[in-house]
Amino acid sequence: MAYTVRIAETGESFEAAADESILDAATRAGVRLPHECTFGGCGTCRIKVHEGAVDYEEFPMALTEEEHEDGYALACQAHCRADMLIEPAGKGLEFAPSFATTATVVKVEPLTPDINRLVLQLPEEVELDYRPGQYMNVVLPDGETRSFSMASALLPDGQIDFHVRRIAGGRFTETLLRELKPGDALHVELPLGTFCFHEEDWRPMILAATGTGLAPIKAILESLLDNDDCPPVTLYWGMRTEADLYMKDEIESWAGRLCEFRFVPVLSRPGEDWQGRRGYVQDAILEDHEDLSEYAFYLCGAPEMITQAKQLFVARGAELDYIYSDSFT
Ligand code: FES
């Protein structure tokens, strides 16, 4: 059984079998739909379903029940159950095309016992153009990839940097990264992803990061430093202990360079002396805001945090069209 899928804006159409995802069918037909993870974890492939119906083998992590009821679907997981009229839910931003190249390791330096900063140099002939918030793939020798967000708005001389958390047993984060030394080559693909600042919203911003999810959030905020048109910014950063807050001083130094900047570190396992917030970022945001209807949200961290945050925030009045997220495991 096959269904016809039409894209509202462009008029393009393709056939989708009942047992394949809309994204797979689009890719097979040469129709480009935004996507990243392809496993239902990031939400980048969100589409608005104007006509038709979909279902899922397993309801995807990055879609909330509210989004589903409002007629949104995730193209990488949704299977057609009728002829469809759909529209990518992104806001039509342009992104520079991605490319593959060989970068050179400049340095690997520890930020905490578990987190390293990796700095790479791109070849001279490469003109890098990315939106802060986007990410890069490291291509391993067997073709597998690992994704890391650029951690700075822009570094001089074609350099890029990343915050890499060591994952027990991780081929790149534990083994390869430990062996890397200045001058080594790394095959990379970039820029990728659609997570970025949405200037067109101009709403007070609440940014929530957990762990190294801080990296793309840091890049976005660095791009807004000393910008008089920047909306008010509140940053919540969730970590386990005081020792994990590897960029606390630098973030605090942004006060005065971002409009109405408030920084709230939230620790899940603080020491007894910790005077700050305890628990989880999504709960801290709810504690601080009775009504979330006026804000734009930028969420980056574990899929569980993002899924829960979206549900909780929507229940507090947040609009899905102003919740941007980038999840990673
Ligand atoms: Fe579909 Fe990530 S590409 S959720």
Q: Are residues 224 and 285 both part of a single domain?
A: yes
State the Cα–Cα distance between residues 191 and 132, nearest whole angstrom. Answer: 10
Count how many domains the chain has: 3
Omega before 156 cis (within 30°)? no
Q: Are residues 66 and 139 both part of a single domain?
A: no
pLDDT score of 36 = 72
Ligand 1 in contact with 76 (CB < 6 A)?
yes
Ligand 1 in contact with 41 (CB < 6 A)?
yes
Q: Ligand 1 mean position to 301 CA, how many Å? A: 15
Residue at 315 is within a domain: yes
Q: Ligand 1 mean position to 233 CA, how many Å? A: 27
Report yes or no for ipTM above 0.95: yes
Ligand 1 in contact with 89 (CB < 6 A)?
no
Ligand 1 in contact with 63 (CB < 6 A)?
no
* Closest atom, ligand 1, to C-alpha of 37: 2
Residue at 294 is within a domain: yes
Q: Are residues 320 and 243 both part of a single domain?
A: yes
pLDDT score of 329 = 62
pLDDT score of 252 = 96
Domain boundary among 169, 192, 215: 192
CA neighbor of 16 nearest in space, from 154, 24, 8? 24
Residue at 197 is within a domain: no
- Intervals of the chain under pLDDT 70: 91-92, 329
Q: Are residues 70 and 109 both part of a single domain?
A: no
What CATH number is attached to the domain comprising 213?
3.40.50.80
Strand positions, DSSP E, the chain:
2-7, 13-17, 46-51, 54-55, 72-74, 79-80, 84-88, 99-110, 115-121, 135-139, 145-149, 159-165, 185-192, 205-210, 233-239, 262-267, 277-278, 296-301, 323-327
Name the DSSP letter for residue 230. Answer: P
Instruction: Provide the residue range defining the domain that includes 234.
Output: 205-327
Ligand 1, atom 4: closest residue by C-alpha: 40
pLDDT tens for 128-156 read 899 999 999 999 988 888 999 999 997 77
Residue at 200 is within a domain: no
Q: Ligand 1 mean position to 86 CA, how many Å? A: 16
State the Cα–Cα distance between residues 296 and 302, nearest whole angstrom. Answer: 19
Name the DSSP letter for residue 175. Answer: I
Residue at 19 is within a domain: yes
* Closest atom, ligand 1, to C-alpha of 45: 1
pLDDT score of 92 = 67
